[in-house]
Structure 1
């Protein structure tokens, strides 16, 4: 694996056989998956992914599993985003072909020593229709996040809706990578998979609020791991898991493994094997354990000091047996603060309150809340930011429609619809600086035969 851990590419790139595409979402929880990158790379060359894999990549991978020949690995293409030899072989081949040096960040390879392969990845493709649609409308690069390929992730943490894996047009599932894969489109019927909530072909199922909170927490926890991968100086060692869990046993149960096992509802022998470094917990098990203890998965793997996400609380099988106070003594009523923030997160009123508004309502500084309730605060901020983004995109679309109407009206009146004249009739003339609005202006004029 060390050969994958090379310094980031320099600004001056050597000539490559295949196009050098920018990596979408790097340093964020929504970095694209390697299978998504291959689909985009194939489209950039006007090829099907199957052709690209078979003719361009397979010759570089002389393996028993036939490397890049998709016909023989369809049901195993999920492994291309994982931690095994299929992922590492493909990364090295694509590094050589494209000049990249960071393609391992599009897989779970950075966590190969601490995340077992079993039950790690979905065998079929999952997606969020609203993410697809919003990326298309806003002009962002359409991609499929690595987050969507992991079995522990059941929902889109942005829209807080279950991910889908059945095409609403043909009702079929998709492999992670197939001969005619195209990002955002069904590989079977080739129809667009994106959709907004209104008038959607998808049937959205509601999830109980308590379960939704757990799913959001889990997705964000894994997203934090993915986002942190570029900053890792080297591979995280397997020993980190045993040391981190050992610290948890010491902190939460005074070193008593049997008591700690009862706290996390796991077999005592299993916990003992984890703490001794004999076995590794699966990713879903590790995330569930951290959720129960209210600690960061990343902190457990990276740091020796254990701090809970809701101030520093020691747990017992039934209830907290002691509490060490935060320096801010006003946080004495931790349950009240947590309940209020949870209610803010689960409240479906529009517009959703910002973290600033929530902190003012509680009478605490925002940084104090974030320090003690990091995950809840992140989720509240993410929902508010997403709402603001959607509101802005809707405003842009409304402005586009207004531009079309103004152009047609000026044309009927015998006046050339110049940018200056059109802006005088717009509710928000400043939006003409937006690339999408300007393109609609140009397209509408061309549609009327105005090429001036």
Structure 2
């Protein structure tokens, strides 16, 4: 035997061997990259095990999280109900990416999440609660590649497939159930409830794609391939755009782009991250790409755009500041102080038509009283709810015991038709006291 061949075999032996197949993600480094939940489902299928088995036996033990370990031992759907977070950028998505990477010895699975958008957009209204898909795309995946779910399908704003001019569907065409992002029995392209193929859809599902759909899809796809390492703060990008469009007037920019003024101030000051839907709306109104909005301020070689670049928007003359009638406004506030059922100061400001800051500035005492009354009212409602739920739980326990059924948490929740009720600590304590009484 050739000595070199022998030593090469020894060298292979010394190298790390992955516990799971080193499965290559589909579409990586492209706008059609598959999602992490899709990859996990394919990984389970490749090993001829269920997603639940893969999670319980290999992935959960690698993650130091008590509720995941309890889920693997005792069941429960808490993890799967929130599985959409795996495709985002929270702790779950990072932990699961790293865990699956360690099992497959891959180094690119974080690219199947939205980790690159962590400092750019908020998680609010970012991801869909349930799966949506283009049936024609699934049919093509089945023939040409492997069945998978692209990450773009998980964005709330992504509603239309431009390739097939088809509206994404979100219910199984056979049993009409909404399909969760991930379940213990997930199999890409199949409904976990009726196990049927979801690529086929009868009838006409065509959607007339307008310029707004094209703008949204194009910008979301840009985000997935954008190098965001140079973006230090989204607030800086927005500030520069405000300067160009409305000469630094944030209130005017907010009005022109139909964003609440206070919200825009929070974004530009860096106090909050903008939500993606509103960023996409700004891009559409200004006729610019998300890449231009985010990266242009950091590209020193790019010439400044003049205001003429945004023909669809015109700035009117500055309106004069509204005069406040102190007496009338105080009289309005006093009416709200006399309401039998108190409402929040936020609701009061909406109904009166003045910002909370204006009200606090001129009527601090009245505002404090409104806030205090509403807070006490809310506390009273919480106490009443707790008393009523405690009564119902005791009643359910006594009823189950009388039928010789052990009143476990799940049995009590099923009896009351209130799933997750006993996760509330105060109600859980009532259940414990009654069960062990």
TM-score class, shorter-chain normalisation, is 0.5 to 0.7
| CA RMSD across the alignment | 2.8
CA distance in 1, matches of 2:44, 2:38: 10
Query: For the Cα contact (< 8 Å) 1:24–1:31, is it kept in 2?
Result: yes
Q: Equivalent residue of 2:164, what SS? A: coil
3-state DSSP class of the match of 1:259? helix
Q: Quick one: distance in 1 between partners of 2:312 and 2:46?
A: 56
Secondary structure in 2 aligned to 1:187? Answer: coil
1:300 maps to 2:299: no
Partner of 1:52: 54
Partner of 1:259: 252
1:287 equivalent to 2:285? Answer no
Equivalent residues of 1:295, 1:309 under 8 A apart: no
Structure 2 counterparts to residues 132-151 of structure 1, below 5 A: 132-137=138-143, 139-151=144-156
Q: Following superposition of structure 1 onto structure 2, how do residues 23-34 of structure 1 map, counting pairs within 5 Å?
A: 23-34=25-36
CA distance in 2, matches of 1:131, 1:206: 15
Aligned counterparts of 1:205 and 1:316: Cα–Cα separation in 2: 30
Q: Which position in structure 2 is the counterpart of 1:277?
A: 270
1:349-371 residue CA offsets vs partner (Å, 9 max, x unmatched): xxxxxxxxxxxxxxxxxxxxxxx
Is contact 2:29-2:111 (8 Å) kept? no
Q: CA offsets, 1:393-425, max 9 Å, x none? A: xxxxxxxxxxxxxxxxxxxxxxxxxxxxxxxxx
Say whether 1:41 aligns with 2:43: yes
Displacement, 1:50?
Answer: 0.9
Task: Sort the Cα spacing of 1:316 and 1:214 in 2 relative to 1 into closer, same or farther, 3 A.
Answer: closer
- Following superposition, the deviation at residue 187 of structure 1 comes to 1.4
Distance 1:103 1:242 in 2: 28
Map 1:274-353 → 2, pairs under 5 A? 274-304=267-297, 313-315=309-311, 317-318=313-314
- Match for residue 188 of structure 1 among 184, 189, 193: 193
Change over 3 Å in CA distance of 1:54–1:225 after alignment to 2 = same
1:245 has 2:250 as partner: no
Q: 1:102 to 1:307 in 2, by over 3 A?
A: farther
Which runs of no fewer than 5 residues in structure 1 stay unpaired? 1-11, 322-452
Q: Which has the larger radius of gyration?
A: 2
Report the Cα offset of residue 317 of structure 1. 4.5
Partners of 1:148 and 1:85 in 2: CA distance:
21
Shift of 1:315: 4.9
Q: Structure 2 regions of 5+ residues with no counterpart?
A: 1-13, 318-437
Contact 2:138 2:147 in 1 (8 A): yes
Alignment equivalent of 1:222, drawn from 212, 220, 242: 220
Partner of 2:118: 112
* Secondary structure, counterpart of 1:22 in structure 2: coil
Matches of 2:147 and 2:305, distance apart in 1: 33
Q: Give the corresponding residue for 1:16.
A: 18
1:121, CA displacement in angstroms? Answer: 0.9
Task: Name the TM-score, length of structure 2 as normaliser.
Answer: 0.63
What is the rounded CA distance, in whole Å, between the counterparts of 1:289 and 1:204 in structure 2? 29
Deviations 1:272-325 (A, max 9, x none): 22111112110111111111111111232223068899996145754899xxxx
Q: Which runs of 4+ in 1 moved over 6 A?
A: 306-312
- Contact 2:50–2:184 (CA<8 Å) still a contact in 1? yes
The alignment partner of 1:17 has SS state of coil
Cα distance change, pair 247–58 in 1 and its aligned pair in 2 (3 A)? same
Q: Secondary structure at the match of 2:68?
A: coil
Residue pair 2:286, 2:310 contacting (<8 A) in 1 also: no
Cα displacement (A) at 1:31: 0.2
**What are the within-5 Å matches in structure 2 for residues 280-429 of structure 1?**
280-304=273-297, 313-315=309-311, 317-318=313-314
The CA distance in 1 between the partners of 2:166 and 2:156, in whole Å, is 15
- Contact persistence 2:165–2:207 (CA under 8 A): no
Per-residue Cα deviation, 1:178-237 (whole angstroms, up to 9, x for no partner): 111111111111111113xxxx42552644x5xx32122101201111123xx55x4843
The Cα shift of 1:141 comes to 2.2
Give 1:90's aligned residue. 96
Equivalent position of 1:204 in the other structure: 205
What TM-score do the two structures reach when normalised by structure 1? 0.61
SS at match of 2:82: helix
Residues 320 and 202 of structure 1: is their aligned pair in 2 closer, same or farther, counting only changes over 3 Å? Answer: farther
CA distance in 2, matches of 1:298, 1:50: 39
Q: Is the 8 A contact 2:86 2:113 kept in 1?
A: yes
Asked whether the equivalents of residues 296 and 309 of structure 1 are also in contact (C-alpha less than 8 Å), the reply is: no
Equivalences, count: 297
Structure-2 separation of matches of 1:284 and 1:269: 17
Structure 2 counterpart of 1:422: none
Deviation digits for residues 104-143 of structure 1 (CA, Å, limit 9, x no counterpart): 1101111111121111111111110010112223x22221
